[in-house]
Every structure is written in C-alpha cells, then in structure tokens.
C-alpha cells in the first residue's frame, strides 16, 4: 500500500529563476530548497494540464539523436508543484483516446512489489502490430510504451500510461532516463519529481515524442535533474503519425535488399494472394491451409516469381 504522505514544497523551497518558473540546474542548486517536511495529509494539488512555459515549437527537428535537451535541461516544475510521497497522476484520455501527461513523486514506495503482468490487451492510439526484420531490433516496430516506466510506478496495464512508441524511442530514448531515476531512488531512498508529457501534432494518433522532466528535491537536484524531449522515431522507418501506418525508408530498403536478396531464408507463401511471409507472421495463422506453401530460398527469387512481401511482417 502506498503511503499517504506529503513532500511539502513550500514557496520558500524553490528560488525561481528570473523567468519566474524554472528550477536552477545542478551547480546552481545550493540553497534552492530551504525546507522539506514530511507531514501526513489528505490534501493534494492536482498537476497542471501541461508543463508551464513549455512550447512544442522549442523542439528541434530530429537530427539523428534519440533525444534533445529542452530549456537548458532545466525542468519546468514550479513552487506550486506540491506532490505526495507515493503520489501518481495520469491524465484522462482525450476524445481521441490519447494519453495526456503523467506525473509522480517517484520513490521506493511507488516501485513495483510484484512481477510485471501482461499488457497485450491494451491498444493505444495508432497501434499496429508490424515487423521489420533486419531493420528494427527485435523486429517489431512498436512497443506499448509506459509514460512513467513500470520500474518507477508499478503501473502495468494502465491505458492512461501507455502510448504507441517505436522500439528505438522506448529502449534508446526513454529507458536510460528511467534507469537514472530508478537507480537514484533505490540507492539514496530519496524522491524524484517526475513528469512525462506526450506531444501530439493536431489530431495525430501517434505522438511525436515525449517531454521528460525530473528533479530530486531532497538534494536540490544534485542527484537527478533533466528536461529532455525524446523523439518517437525509428531509424530506417517512415511513420504516418496520423494513423500509425509505416513503411521502410527508401535508403533502408536498398540496404536491406542488398543484404537479403541472395541469402537463403525460410518463408511461408500464400499461393492465393501471392504474398510471402516470415514463418512467425500473424497472417500465417489466418491463411487457408490449401493456400500455404513453405519455401526456402532468396527473397529476390520470390519477387521474380510474382510474389509480394507481406506488409505486416515485412520479410
């Protein structure tokens, strides 16, 4: 059971910068927190709908790095952000079914105490089960990505905490920051103010990425302090963020063809549709037995025979 304690961040706690909204960063953190009290209370302040003063126009165009720093790496927390130890908040889904911001005061009390369960029943907006063998690590393009990671919150199949994100976004982009927060909280017993805000363009069903903010109040941000935007992209893959549809980029397709055209690979053919699939493709289980044919050979040979690669498993 999570404790109902308040980590009181009073007006005297945070000396705001000249713009009046942001926490100072690491070496300037001395004396920024003058008092921390742990008191029992039932009152809590609901988080704002979005981080104050954050403007998505600040986000640079993706240029090959999984993330970029925002606001000089200073999170947008203010003196009004009073959270409870063990406190977690997940925004209601919007009219399109999309997640909003999630915020927590991460500590040992928020971390999981049991094995992680299944989440396959959750279908976040823009979700597609699609594979790109040889291009995406693990083959599957999309993961169900926790806004506040399971290792921090113990929240598993919470639809308000799961978005459609690429493998690269999840593992290369978000995970290192989640690990930083988890390691700090475990090793020190301290807390981390942690907020993740998905950024959507218009009515798009797939987020462009997420703003991740973290600050460790008990040591004035010396332990953890960051403000980054993680791009929801996958190298070698183009994504239609309106729908979640995807395809191999022209450059990646050429490279993949050069690697696979002459190699011998096991495929399953559908003689009815003239599509070829990887053996573990979901479409294989839907195939009529009389139309199934196992094949070992090169990809190019199949294309020369008039077969097209499946758009689901992208063999």
Cα–Cα distance, 17 to 21 (Å, whole number): 7
Query: Which DSSP string corresponds to 124-142?
Result: -TT----B-TTTSTTSBSE
Band of pLDDT at residue 256, cut at 50, 70 and 90: low
Band of pLDDT at residue 20, cut at 50, 70 and 90: very low
User: Residue 30, class by beta-carbon neighbours within 10 Å (0-12 exposed, 13-18 middle, 19+ buried)?
Assistant: exposed
Residues in a beta bridge with 238: 247
Query: How, if at all, do strands 308-309 and 275-277 pair?
Result: parallel
pLDDT tens per residue, range 65-75: 999 999 999 99
Cα–Cα distance, 120 to 226 (Å, whole number): 31
Nearest to 191 by CA among 52, 17, 30, 8: 8
Cα–Cα distance, 310 to 121 (Å, whole number): 24
Mean pLDDT of the chain: 82
Total-model pTM: 0.73
pLDDT at 15 over 50: no
Structure-token pair, residue 241: 């963020």
All domains of the chain in start order, with CATH: 58-249 (3.40.570.10), 260-309 (no CATH)
pLDDT tens per residue, range 45-100: 445 455 667 889 889 999 999 999 999 999 999 876 667 778 999 999 999 999 99
Q: How is residue 255 annotated by DSSP?
A: H
pLDDT at 11 over 90: no
Residues in a beta bridge with 308: 275
Q: How is residue 242 annotated by DSSP?
A: T
Cα–Cα distance, 267 to 285 (Å, whole number): 14
């Amino acid at each position: 059971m999570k404790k109902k304690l308040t980590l009181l961040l009073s007006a005297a706690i945070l000396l705001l910068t000249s713009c009046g909204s942001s926490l100072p960063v690491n070496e300037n953190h001395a004396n920024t927190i003058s008092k921390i009290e742990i008191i029992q209370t039932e009152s809590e302040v609901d988080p704002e709908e979005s981080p104050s003063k954050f403007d998505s126009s600040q986000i640079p165009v993706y240029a090959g790095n999984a993330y970029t720093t925002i606001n000089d790496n200073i999170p947008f927390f203010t003196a009004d952000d009073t959270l409870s130890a063990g406190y977690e908040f997940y925004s209601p889904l919007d009219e399109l079914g999309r997640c909003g911001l999630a915020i927590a005061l991460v500590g040992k009390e928020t971390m999981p105490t049991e094995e992680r369960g299944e989440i396959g029943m959750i279908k976040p907006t823009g979700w597609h089960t699609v594979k790109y063998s040889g291009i995406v690590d693990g083959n599957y393009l999309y993961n169900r990505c926790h806004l506040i990671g399971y290792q921090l919150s113990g929240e598993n199949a919470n639809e308000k905490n799961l978005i459609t994100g690429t493998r690269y976004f999840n593992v290369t982009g978000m995970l290192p920051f989640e690990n930083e927060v988890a390691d700090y909280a475990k090793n020190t017993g301290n807390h981390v103010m942690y907020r993740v805000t998905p950024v959507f363009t218009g009515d798009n069903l797939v987020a462009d990425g997420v703003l991740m903010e973290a600050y460790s109040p008990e040591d004035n941000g010396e332990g953890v302090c960051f403000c980054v935007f993680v791009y929801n992209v996958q190298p070698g893959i183009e994504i239609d963020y309106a729908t979640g549809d995807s395809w191999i980029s022209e450059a990646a397709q050429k490279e993949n063809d050069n690697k696979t055209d002459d190699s011998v690979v096991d495929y399953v053919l559908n003689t009815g549709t003239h599509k070829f699939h990887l053996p573990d493709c979901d479409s294989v289980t839907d195939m009529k037995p009389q139309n199934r044919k196992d094949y070992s050979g090169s990809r190019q040979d199949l294309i020369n025979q008039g077969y097209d690669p499946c758009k689901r498993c992208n063999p």
